[in-house]
Amino acid sequence: MLSKTLYTTLLYATSPLIFSLLLKTKKGKPPVGDRWKEFVGITPELAQAQQPIWIHAVSVGEVIAATPIINALQQQYPTLPLLITTTTSTGAERVAALTGNIEHRYFPADYPCAVKQFISRMKPSLCLIMETELWPNMLTICKDQAIPTIVVNARLSEKSQQKYQRFQSLFSAPLQTLTHILCQDENDQRRFKSLGLNQAQLSVTGTVKFDIQFSEKIINSGLALRQQLGVQRPVVIASSTHKGEDEIVLAAFENVKQQHPDAVLILVPRHPERFDDVANLCLNKFPQTQRRSQAEATDDLSNVDVYLGDSMGEMPILLAASDICFMGGSLIGDKVGGHNLLEPAALSKACITGPSYFNFADVTTQLLACDGVAIVNDELELARKITVLMSQPEIAVTMGQQAKGVVEKNKGALGKIMQTLTYYIDQTIKQTNTK
């Protein structure tokens, strides 16, 4: 049995390995640089003395999920500073694109001394954890420091449930310290309950990911890119592709070009370290390839065949410039399990996915039920489906409308989440004012 003492001892013993992974510079990803000290709790003071609301979002996906909550908090509590922590540098880059009374810090590793020092410097009034990033020492110290800790948009798969049960001696007490868990659905609630949490700690709000929002600036930037590419040209985006999938997409697009020579492919690899390799793949097949990182807003892109999205945090802009979206991570067996179709669906794009989408089965199943997404099994089926949608754009428009309908139908989690958060934030403000 792994006790908290043994867990902490192992953390210290494996520090060299942990920090080599945290600080390893990967091609295409922003380096952590001098900010490495933040991982051990040596964190610069905040610009404001006021106690912030602390939101922990591991990486890009969690920051995206947190954005509607961040916007709602800023609207309801405009004077309250927000402290957002991430573990990854790409997550930090995504936070940097947010506006308002926000500061970013790297999340300290789960060493008691690091977490204590971080909390001592930051003095958060409340901690919100996005999805399920639960660290035993961090939870225990938050409880000791009387910091309410709420898990938002919480999900717990059967696999994760089994992991927590396997290490019950380590997680049992820390889980009891949680103030509240806002679950995505009843299955998540049931699994958390099986770990010993009581009903008073649990609520079901739905997933905030359906409450996705796009600013006017993003939409206008997408429309401006479409103007550059050519308004009359059909545009398909291959989003979040993985190694081995780019070749499939490019081969399918060669086939599409036979029927639609004016078509444009926007190709967006999932991992920044692959940008250069994918650029070479594109150039080998399509000499008229343009990298977004090397393009200017005034460039004429009317002759471009492939537009490589080699930038971070701009997926909504690239989606807004497209007609059809193929979602990557779904045509390379069961290695990945697909990616989230909610962003293209919320932008009313016709969606296509491969057969492997188990990581987002709920959303994809709902889209399938209303013909908002099509499943393809290989390169030829992908080419055929894109060709059909480009040949009959009215079908693509209808698919996009059906996909958007799924998003609209499931909205409302944000209101439920904010109702709970408002209760705890107002309590915290009241307690602070009476000190």
Residues 374 and 280 in one domain: yes
pLDDT tens-digit map of 94-116: 898 888 899 999 999 999 999 99
Range with the poorest average pLDDT among 2-6, 235-239, 349-353, 420-424: 2-6
User: For residue 26, what pLDDT is reported?
Assistant: 67
- Between CA 128 and CA 171 the distance in angstroms is 18
User: What CATH number did the domain enclosing 10 receive?
Assistant: 3.40.50.11720
pLDDT category of residue 418 using cuts at 50, 70 and 90: very high
- Between CA 72 and CA 78 the distance in angstroms is 10
User: For residue 431, what pLDDT is reported?
Assistant: 81
User: For residue 27, what pLDDT is reported?
Assistant: 63
Q: Model pTM? A: 0.80
Residues 73 and 181 in one domain: yes
**How many Cα atoms within 13 Å fall on the side-chain side of residue 330?**
29
pLDDT category of residue 214 using cuts at 50, 70 and 90: confident
Is the per-residue pLDDT at 215 higher than 90? Answer: no
Comparing 89 with 290, the larger pLDDT belongs to 290
Among 38, 45, 62, 254, the one annotated catalytic: 62
Residues 180 and 230 in one domain: no
Whether 103 sits among the annotated catalytic residues: the reply is: no
49, part of any domain: yes
211, part of any domain: no
Residues 82 and 156 in one domain: yes
Residues 83 and 145 in one domain: yes
51, part of any domain: yes
User: What CATH number did the domain enclosing 338 receive?
Assistant: 3.40.50.2000
Residues 38 and 78 in one domain: yes
pLDDT tens-digit map of 234-276: 999 999 999 999 999 999 999 999 999 999 999 999 988 899 9
pLDDT category of residue 19 using cuts at 50, 70 and 90: confident
pLDDT category of residue 16 using cuts at 50, 70 and 90: confident
265, part of any domain: yes
Is the per-residue pLDDT at 192 higher than 90? Answer: yes
What is the number of domains present in the chain?
Answer: 2
Domain that holds residue 309: 216-410
Residues 158 and 146 in one domain: yes
